[in-house]
Amino acid sequence: MTLNAKRALVAFGVLILAAIAILSFGPSVDVRPSNSPFDVNDGATAEQRLVSPTDMGDMNMQTLPVFNFSLPEFQGITHWWNTANNEPLTPEDLRGKVVLVDFWTYSCINCIRTFPFMREMHEKYGNNGLVIIGVHTPEFAFEANPDNVSREIEKNNLNYPVALDPDYKTWRAYSNRYWPAGYFFDHMGRLRRTHFGEGEYQESEEAIRSLLREAGYELDEMGMTDATTPDFSKIKTHETYFGLLRGREFTQSAGSRGEATAYSNAKTPTADRWNVEGTWTFEDEYVVAHSDDAKFFFNVQASKMHLVLESEDGAPKLIEIFVDGEKTRDITVQDAELYDIAEFPDAARHHVEIRIQDAGVRFFAATFS
């Protein structure tokens, strides 16, 4: 590595650390490890997995700062979608374009809620100098499967280029830590803005328009997009993982890795915590129900509850959803993805019970809207 390259790499790391200190509005998934996985003596931890960044809204988008380094190469990419013949893109291919690099993963509710904005930006500016590149870096092992990613790209109508980064090589090249995370590059390949999490859609579009005008594109006849940000104040229960590596908020004692453990007479969990009945097996990324009479309980407060679930053997599995003791719906679990579990119009605290009718349902994480 040349001296100039080393200097550029150091400058890039410094820039990203500075960018993290200027986070924008809206939650994102933080990949820092938990300090208290399944510690029954420790109990619920106050650490939040949702970042609540400071507001960056008063920055003048017409005079974006210039950070002096080039757009990093896409490293470790195993699959491309929505490019010519699904061939890789390089910084040279993007020369003269305004580029938004968006880190995402398909089971992340925070990422899913940005899809309408990303689709609109692509449709509106894709033929006017903007290239959006969705770098899909998996949070769970199943998200590294290109068939799963391809299914989600099609299901969510994502027509801009997407790159699969299964080994986090491009992620590390950006020193990234968040899903979603946006990096805005001008037509000379210089980083001009970062955005971590949801929200600030108007500011992001204003930044795109400013960079396009700098590149010589005419946008006078295009109005701004009307994009709304969710009311995050109603989300009191934060993202919760169930596997041994990052598990938290469990009221019982987690079983040993890979060993079936029987649970009975689970008490109603306290606020923002969960427990189970029946036979369950704990693995690094998930806990799996291994009996047909297994039950899962969670005390939550939000407007919506979602679970990342998967059928262990690929066959459809039936689960029944109860809210405050009343059955609300049945759900068939098969593909590894985010499932909508329940809606709470009052955004008050509720007790959710899930009865597993078919053994072999994997529980990865709970997220809330």
Instruction: Give the pLDDT of residue 14.
Output: 40
SS3 14: helix
- Tell me the C-alpha distance between 96 and 146, whole Å: 30
Instruction: Give the pLDDT of residue 38.
Output: 45
Give the residue extent of every domain in the chain: 3-230, 234-368
> Which residue's structure tokens are 């580029």?
99
Instruction: Give the pLDDT of residue 23.
Output: 38
Nearest to 106 by CA among 145, 73, 77, 58: 145
State the DSSP code for 63. Answer: G
Nearest to 193 by CA among 120, 329, 123, 101: 101
Alpha helices in the chain (DSSP H): 3-20, 109-112, 115-125, 146-155, 169-173, 201-214
SS3 176: coil
Instruction: Give the pLDDT of residue 27.
Output: 60
Instruction: Give the pLDDT of residue 26.
Output: 52
> 148-201 pLDDT, tens per residue?
999 999 999 999 999 999 999 999 999 999 999 999 999 999 999 999 999 899
CA distances from residue 171 to 89, 183, 234, 329 in whole angstroms, order as listed = 16, 12, 31, 39
Q: Could you give the angle at the alpha carbon of 111 between the alpha carbons of 244 and 27, nearest 5°? A: 80
- Tell me the C-alpha distance between 236 and 348, whole Å: 9
In the chain (369 residues long), the average pLDDT of successive 10-residue segments reads 46 43 47 38 29 36 71 94 94 90 96 96 95 98 98 97 97 94 94 92 94 89 78 90 95 95 94 97 97 96 97 98 98 98 97 98 96
CB 58 within 8 A of CB 47: no
Please give the model's pTM, rounded to 2 decimal places: 0.84
Residue type, 311: S
Give the fold, CATH level 3, of 3-230.
Glutaredoxin (3.40.30)
Instruction: Give the pLDDT of residue 68.
Output: 59
Residues β-bridged to residue 306: 340, 367
The dihedrals phi and psi of 321, each to the nearest 5 degrees, come to -105, 130
- Tell me the C-alpha distance between 48 and 109, whole Å: 16
Query: Structure tokens of 291?
Result: 């009996």
- Tell me the C-alpha distance between 369 and 353, whole Å: 18
Establish whether domains 3-230 and 234-368 are of one fold: no
Nearest to 301 by CA among 259, 254, 247, 240: 240
Instruction: Give the pLDDT of residue 111.
Output: 96
Residue type, 241: Y
Query: Structure tokens of 217?
Result: 């594109």
Q: CB within 8 A of 207, min separation 6: which ones?
A: 61, 64, 184, 192, 193
β-pairing, 162-164 with 67-70? unpaired
CB 51 within 8 A of CB 196: yes
SS3 76: coil
> What CATH architecture does domain 234-368 belong to?
Sandwich (2.60)
- Tell me the C-alpha distance between 5 and 21, whole Å: 25
Q: CB within 8 A of 306, min separation 6: which ones?
A: 109, 338, 339, 340, 341, 366, 367, 368, 369
Instruction: Give the pLDDT of residue 44.
Output: 29
